[in-house]
Structure 1
């Protein structure tokens, strides 16, 4: 029986994203070469106090597939950046919820003290608002505030849509955390998601009204203060990216995340962390590049639906 017209090609063609060199139609697959490690992402562990409906990394209070990375392990990568002269500018932390990691404050102190710009992705709720974490963050902001940015996840300006994604009674806690951060002069930006059918102008106007109503001093029209990410769903059909796509789309492989960034993950039970090609692909072994940053100087095949949905066609970057 044939599929109804409205659902045909809705789910991903199983012949796609199989061969790293060729697409399902036999065309040459696009690749991206690391030009310079501008940003090193570090996953702090997949445990989170929330369970979101469409979390790409499946974070939850029970998912520990990626363990907490330890202070000494992070320091080893910072040492390698210096020893190899990699010229990395930014160290970015994501989870799970980073402030559940017991080493997080020490990790931030060491990273900032070495002169890196630091970006931390957080849901800004209970883990961040514990007294010990608040005291530590205030001290870090006083000493290094010009180089520390916290990116707060507010999926939508409408509480109902935000809680549709993040669960009941999750909107007011993030607003409380955001108000604490802005009141105390932290450098922050917001991560929203284009999953509810609104266009960018509507989203920015909605966030602006929210910020004004809650006394939050943020410019929702500034792209570097409100980052709106496209929705990702690896189950859905998406075109494969060929070498011919660069000219057709008016973009360049050097604009892709994997041309300037890598991510460190600590797999559960692993003796040491691993370097992977992309923040969005923590579990796909095809994108694992070794254990040292020197192992990561590789060309990456755009051989996953996220490569097309988020980066090439979505025009997005986790760095904002």
Structure 2
């Protein structure tokens, strides 16, 4: 019998062991992908956002309202709504979507690069400012040259300017950094702390929720598949993984309806499509992708 390639069989690993899966315990965090269009084309963007990538088209307010109604009808334990992209502030309905999300009473987290698209919405943001609204800004490195190695020329200072505006206006803010340069975490946090102090940005770089340093995802590094035995070996609880309590709503180009992805990191993989209703989205998630291992289980990453 031919050997099975890793991460192909939904039930069995390449070594013949039972693949791990994660049961859904209820929707605690709802992610909304605003669309994959972005003002930047980053070198290692996991979702390949760019000024031309519209594989995920703009999410509509009606999509969001439909899902929020289903969340209420089914009594989901929703506490947080995350909005990601692409760049969310390029979505023409983002202000209305934000308002609808805040009206639920849940905490709302918006992932943004804080550049020109966000600055076009300053008045709307000020009008919606709330202690339940947090904006997390992607700043890949505290050094401008390394940040721009990932995000492109002239991308650092506009992001800093956006962060300074958010900070000066009293918004709850956070920063998302990257670990692809393999520096010690303490060194990274110290570098960000110096930057925040120099620029007058009110973020505590020692707080892992205020400065999130994400593990990397790449296709070159060999990663093991996650089996049912791994939970005990690694001392991990599957209920702590994102797919136990989070789903992401996406609108794929050409699709009639918006649908749920079981994982925020895998919106293009049909194996992780959960259909347009929460009943389908409640199925267990098989950890049948290398990023399940690399980012979530072994890397300890979480988008929320």
1:263 is matched with which residue: 241, 244, 248?
248
1:107 is matched with which residue: 97, 104, 124?
97
Q: CA deviation at 1:216?
A: 1.0
Runs of 4+ aligned residues of structure 1 deviating over 6 Å after TM superposition are none
The alignment status of 1:289 with 2:289, answered yes or no, reads no
CA distance in 2, matches of 1:290, 1:270: 11
- What's the secondary structure of 1:241's corresponding residue? coil
Partner of 1:244: 229
Deviation sequence 1:59-101 (CA, Å, 0-9, x none)? 0000000000111110110000111111211111000000000
Q: Structure 2: which 5+ residue stretches go unaligned?
A: none
CA distance in 2, matches of 1:271, 1:85: 26
Task: Tell me the matched-pair count.
Answer: 302
Task: Tell me how large the CA RMSD over aligned residues is.
Answer: 1.1
- What's the secondary structure of 2:303's corresponding residue? coil
Deviation sequence 1:151-203 (CA, Å, 0-9, x none)? 10000111111000000110000000000000000001110010011121111
Partner of 1:140: 128
Partner of 2:13: 23
CA distance in 1, matches of 2:253, 2:162: 30
Partner of 1:173: 158
Please say if residues 262 and 281 of structure 2, whose CA atoms lie closer than 8 Å, have aligned partners that are also in contact: yes
Partner of 1:196: 181
Deviation sequence 1:207-261 (CA, Å, 0-9, x none)? 0000011111210001110011001013432110011111111111111100010
Please say if residues 23 and 244 of structure 2, whose CA atoms lie closer than 8 Å, have aligned partners that are also in contact: yes
The alignment status of 1:66 with 2:66, answered yes or no, reads no
Q: CA deviation at 1:113?
A: 1.5
2:216 is matched with which residue: 231, 241, 244?
231
Deviation sequence 1:127-156 (CA, Å, 0-9, x none)? 0012xx110000000xxx110010100001
Name the TM-score, length of structure 1 as normaliser.
0.93
CA distance in 1, matches of 2:198, 2:106: 35
Please say if residues 4 and 14 of structure 2, whose CA atoms lie closer than 8 Å, have aligned partners that are also in contact: no
Partner of 2:107: 117
- What's the secondary structure of 1:216's corresponding residue? coil
Q: Structure 1: which 5+ residue stretches go unaligned?
A: 1-12
Name the TM-score, length of structure 2 as normaliser.
0.98
